[in-house]
A and B are shown apart, each in its own frame.
Chain A
Amino acid sequence: MNLARYRFILSRPLQLLPVLFGISMITFVLVRSIPGDPARALLGSRSTPEALIRIRAQYGLDQPLWMQYFYFLKNLLKGDLGQSLLYKVDALKLISTRIEPTLFLVLGSVLLALLIAVPLATVAARNKGGWQDHLIRLFTTAGLGMPAFWLGIMLILLLSVQLGLFPVSGYGRTGWDKLHHMVLPCLTIALALSAVLVRNLRASMLMELQADHATAARARGLSERAIFHRHVLPNSLVPAVNLLAVNIGWLISGTVVIESLFAIPGIGQLLVRGIFTRDYMVVQGVAMVLALATVMVNFLADVLTVMIDPRVNMR
């Protein structure tokens, strides 16, 4: 790694600052657009006018909007996202207790998706135009249009209700129990995700198969098998990792729905419950945390790509 690379990796976080600033601004605007008086929401309907004035002063609600935003930012930097109206605890603390299942779900799905997508894409690319290729293409087209919540229910129907292999819902307590509970949710997202991955992987594999270095390897007398495993596969995985990072927002959106479907106590379920109970501080906090996670994953993917692939140009 040369100096330019280090400079890129170090300067990249600075470019993130405006985006982070924007995220805070959008969540602020979202919360301020909630109809109704926040002070009244905090105190309940039987509040006295004096108490309302006191609370408004305490939370700076009587200040001009830009001052309110300033306070909001100040609290944000201290890690204070406000209190959950429903649970009466710090929103951030509440969110942090829900991270584990969601993280489990995201990582498990990505791993499973790769396990499904790489072999399928390999078969499709090596038999381009053959019946296998068409079959896999049909699978991806259907997979792209399959609602994840419905796919999950169909998997429950088949693997839980009919065969009794996995629990229908919940998260479990011990390590193995959790793993057992998470197979179906992870498989649901993985199947949907692999539909996207297979298409992309197949395309990049086909490109790599025709690349000059593959031709050179053929000229050196390497077997097609060796060329595929040593040259084509590693090179086509780099764009796939990037694709995964780009799709992290989509993946997180999927976990929101799947957590509700399987009753997994993760961040997504917290968000949906927060919306129904009008627990706005939680909704705001979750939106911000998830946006932050998305930005961080994309950032890490950028850095990783630069570190792995020396040809990537650094803007």
Chain B
Amino acid sequence: MSGQTLSPAWRLALRFGLRNSRLATVLGLAILFGWLLLALFAPWVAPFDPIAQNTDIRLLGPSLAHPFGTDNFGRDVLSRVIWGARIDLQISVIGVVFPFLIGTCVGALAGYIGGRFDTICMRLIDIILAFPFLVLMLAIMAILGPGLGSFYMAMALVGWVSYARLIRSQILVLKESDFALAAKSLGFGHGRILFRHLLPNAMFGSIVFSMSDAVLVLLNGAAVSYLGLGVQPPTAEWGTMVAEGQSFITNAWWICTFPGLAIVTLAMGFSLLADGVAEHLGERP
């Protein structure tokens, strides 16, 4: 409303915000990069085999030899956390990619074609959104059976709706724009207009959203594994590790604590990056 009255305080806040957003982006990237390196070099970084059991060293507290302690099977928790990064990073990437692709395609087509197809898509989205996210996911996974594959499948079936909505609303605006009209008047086909001209301009918002969505996907994946439906033991995954450590909470706090901290840091990496990028682009969610 009052765009003309740029007070110095406002400008200062903007500059501060920019500096802040850069800090957030860098910090987020650093955290993500750190976990990525650990995941990639897990066989060399992890001091012990993540699934080798050794009953002589059950439930040892944190020490120099085992900085994060050992669990009820005598497995080194630090090594399991490092190996777990592979699975959890995979969850937060694959769990985002499929919904992103499906949602982008459906949203783009619904926005571009419009009419009855659009109505049907929007109704379907309304219905899927009516279900609590995790409940619908669990119901789908109940049919598909436990495992990471079912998790990705359920994620793809439920998660695409947010992307479809975002892309559709962008396409609806963009298809009325001058450059779309120009492309049309040059005689380009629908496919070329939609995928080469409209879609690249419509994707900004959903790319930023996908970064904060990665947090939700990671938490969902960990929760599903915690409930026993996702990654199956003995594979090291953070959610599963927390579930396994829960029975020993009274005398071995370290089994639950460290995998949980790993989830928090990875999630913070994604949120910081999402915040930073969103603020940088000036579209704060």
Contacts and interface: CB of A to CB of B under 8 A. Distances in A.
Contacts of B246: 153, 261
Contact of A34 (B127, B136, B143, B253): B143
Given A18-B123, A35-B143, A294 B130 contact: yes
Contacts of A45: none
Contacts of A72: none
Nearest to A192: B219
Contact of B271 (A25, A144, A250, A252): A144
Interface string A278-315: 10100110110011001100000000000000000000
Interface stretch (B74-82, B198-206, B262-270): B262-270
Interface residues of A, number: 52
Interface in A245-261: 248-250, 252-254, 256-257, 260-261
Contacts of A59: none
A149 B139 contact: no
Nearest to B268: A145
A10 interface: no
Interface residues of B, number: 50
A290 B253 contact: no
Given A147-B242, A153-B242, A142 B260 contact: no
A249 B133 contact: yes
Interface stretch (A61-69, A154-162, A180-188, A220-228): A154-162
Contacts of A283: 138-139, 142
Contacts of A248: 132
Contact of A33 (B13, B134, B143): B143
Nearest to B140: A30
B262 to A, nearest CB: 10
Contacts of A27: 139
Interface in A116-172: 129, 141-142, 144-151, 153-154, 156-157, 161
A234 interface: no
B142 A275 contact: yes
Given A23-B130, A33-B143, A34-B143, A256 B271 contact: no
B215 A144 contact: yes
A278 B226 CA distance: 18
Q: Per DSSP, are chain B's interface residues mostly helix, strand or loop, or mixed?
A: helix
B130 A252 contact: no
B222 interface: yes
B58 to A, nearest CB: 20
Contact of B138 (A23, A151, A161, A275): A275
Given A256-B138, A260-B227, A291-B132, A23 B143 contact: no
A276 interface: yes
A295 B135 CA distance: 14
B135 A287 contact: yes
Given A161-B250, A256-B138, 7 more contacts: A19-B130, A30-B140, A144-B271, A146-B264, A150-B263, A250-B133, A256-B132
Interface of B: 13, 16, 123-124, 126-136, 138-143, 215, 218-219, 222-223, 226-229, 239, 242-243, 246, 249-250, 253, 256-257, 259-260, 263-264, 266-268, 270-272, 275
